[in-house]
Amino acid sequence: MSIPISEIHAAVEGLTAPRRFCDLIAAHGDAKALNTMDEDGGGWQSWTWREVADLAATAAGGLRRAGVSSGDRVLLMMANRPDFHWYDLAAQFLRATPVSIYNSSSPEEISYLAGHAEADIAIVENKGFLDRILKVRHELPTLTQIYVIEPPDGELPHGVRPAFELHDADPIDLDEAAAQTSPDDIATLIYTSGTTGPPKGVMISQYNVVYTVEQLRRCIGFDEHADKRVVSYLPMAHIAERMTSHYQAMILGYSVYCCPTAARLTAYLVEVHPEVIFGVPRVFEKIYSGVNAALAGDAAKKQQFDDGVAAAIEIKRAERDGTITDEQRQTLEFLDAVAFANVRQLVGLDAVEIAVTGAAPISPPVLEWFNAIGVPLSEIYGMSESSGPMCWSPHANKPGSVGQAIPGCEVELADDGEMICKGGNVFQGYLKQRDKTAETIVDGWLHSGDIGEVDGDGYFRIVDRKKELIITSGGKNISPANLEAALKMIPLVGQAAAIGDNRKFVTAILALDPESAAVWAVAHGRDGALPEELAKDQDVLDEVQSGVDAANQQFAQVEQIKKFTLVGEEWLPDSDVLTPTSKLKRRGINSRYAAEIDAMYE
């Protein structure tokens, strides 16, 4: 049964994240809060919530001494590390607004974001971040002070100080400061990825934060204070990571393991065995590809495993339909004991209670594969403007859908099929852009820009972005996301971009999956071949063509891929072709591969 907006509102009325954080300290201050692995992987550093509170209190004292007060904006630019949490908290307790920006931001991007936010103070990680901000400091008149967590050797430039000096100040009284905070305070600015124009500053209020955390808590079913392990590895500039491992952690008490880069995620998973994990689709696709690539060396074992997965998928479907038999349950238990449990243990997903993917579509077969091997992976849907979530059914998912409306959120389809929602999770507007706000929030309804469908049980499915639909020269509207999800199921393909806007037919740029390509090379006598060589190998091209032909069968004739170009370079997050959360930058794809695209239409 859906929970109305009024019920969630009543549960959080008058509260803020700092007030909830103080409640957590009183109840569970000695619980383990933040953790990070030593660089050599030999041990861990950990902090309790009480220790985090003490660090936040002294940091707030230092920021207040530096002149930070209500309404000021504090720029945060650092890798995923424990320091982020106490500096973000410190700003919130002062009723200032912490603004986290992507670590890869160029000096020009920093200038735009810091200038647009009118940041007063910046806290950066090290010399690399500092150098970038110093290059454009002359363009930022409001930015008076910069603090560096790992200061470089030698004398620091004027106005630049070591961050440890913030902790030399007298600590503030957190309870007193929390009592002064207001639900109307802006808790953070989340800047959009800028794939369709200049980034917009999404204003998330304290009310939005506590409302959304309560929505998610009820959706998941955790107790008020849940001591659950979560690995935090995505940029804190992304709303999903901010909501999962910062706001939920400081209110519900998750134990957060800070992984500084996504490249170290595999090592963290096998060490931490998280109970909660959020990942963009590419994270789960790489685990899926890695397991299958590892099994590919033994054809008989691979076939047995695949047969077991196929059987488990059918049993899981019966379970969702409510038609599962005792015999099927016994079969699933047997498969789990002899195969699946070991795989989960090896990749560090054996303790997972909540696994969620979002920010981009995931292929339903990949999601079903994880469900089959006992990982309760579900797809969530939302956006920065909804403070993260809008639809999600973690305990009753339907692969291919993004779930039902979350508690306290009304979700509907507009006349043109656009997903719209209403609730306390809807943001306060775009900073300094009333016109864009008025276009996005209409009569209290947040307009997502996504086209959706809904079934009789209230499960929503995303068809595509309104602005990303391919319109061929013949006037046909085609969803690139659905095509790309199908193409990424080809074992040798890691990433895919459908091309065809204002063209006669649809083509694709396909990027080799490095793990699968390496296994294929060994099996076919090309051991040691470089990816760019394999991308031109006729046997590889023939195998990919077979996969494209199979994928095409899922689509109407006009939607099918007529030609493709295979490239050997891996597309990396935070590049000219992918956003930090691995969404395609279509303009970047079209620019990098302009010659290859033109060649397919000659």
Residue with tokens 């700092």, as numbered in its chain: 18
pLDDT range class, residue 328, cuts 50, 70, 90: very high
pLDDT surpasses 90 at 226: no
Residue (of 71, 75, 100) closest to 180 by Cα position: 71
**8 Å CB contact between 170 and 161:** no
pLDDT surpasses 70 at 333: yes
What is the percent of the chain where pLDDT is above 90? Answer: 71
Q: Give the side-chain half-sphere CA count within 13 A for 34.
A: 22
**Residue 99, Ramachandran bin (φ over 0: left; ψ between -120 and 50: alpha; else beta):** beta
Residue-wise pLDDT for 557-589, tens only, equals: 888 899 999 999 988 887 888 877 777 888 889
Residue-wise pLDDT for 90-149, tens only, equals: 999 999 999 999 888 889 989 999 999 999 999 999 999 999 999 999 999 999 999 999
Tell me what the mean pLDDT of segment 1-29 comes to.
94
Q: How far apart are CA 162 and CA 196, in angstroms?
A: 37
pLDDT surpasses 80 at 285: yes
Q: Which amino acid is at 279?
A: G
pLDDT range class, residue 602, cuts 50, 70, 90: confident
pLDDT range class, residue 303, cuts 50, 70, 90: very high
Residue-wise pLDDT for 435-446, tens only, equals: 999 999 999 999
Residue (of 453, 425, 426, 462) closest to 441 by Cα position: 426
Residue 573's CB is within 10 A of a number of other CB atoms, namely 18
pLDDT surpasses 70 at 467: no
What is the percent of the chain where pLDDT is above 70? Answer: 97
Tell me what the mean pLDDT of segment 4-17 comes to.
96
Residue-wise pLDDT for 389-435, tens only, equals: 999 999 999 998 999 999 999 999 999 899 999 999 999 999 999 99
Residue (of 108, 112, 113) closest to 189 by Cα position: 113
pLDDT surpasses 70 at 194: no
Q: Is pLDDT larger for residue 236 or for residue 478?
A: 236
222: buried, middle or exposed (CB in 10 Å: 19+, 13-18, 0-12)? buried
- Alpha-carbon torsion (366, 367, 369, 375), positive or negative: positive
Please tell me the pTM assigned to this model.
0.84
Q: How far apart are CA 74 and CA 90, in angstroms?
A: 10
Residue (of 53, 57, 94) closest to 74 by Cα position: 94
**Domains of the chain, start order:** 29-260 (3.40.50.12780), 282-350+352-465 (3.40.50.12780), 470-600 (3.30.300.30)
Residue 174's CB is within 10 A of a number of other CB atoms, namely 21
At residue 517, the 3 state secondary structure works out as: helix
Q: Is pLDDT larger for residue 56 or for residue 290?
A: 56
Average the pLDDT over each of 134-143, 313-322, 520-529 and give the range with the smallest value. Answer: 520-529
Predicted confidence at residue 416, as pLDDT, reads 87
Predicted confidence at residue 482, as pLDDT, reads 77
Average the pLDDT over each of 52-56, 263-267, 403-407, 433-437 and give the range with the smallest value. Answer: 263-267
Average the pLDDT over each of 328-332, 341-345, 472-476 and give the range with the smallest value. Answer: 472-476
Structure tokens at 586: 């279509």
Report H helices in 29-173. Answer: 49-65, 82-93, 107-117, 127-135
Predicted confidence at residue 465, as pLDDT, reads 67
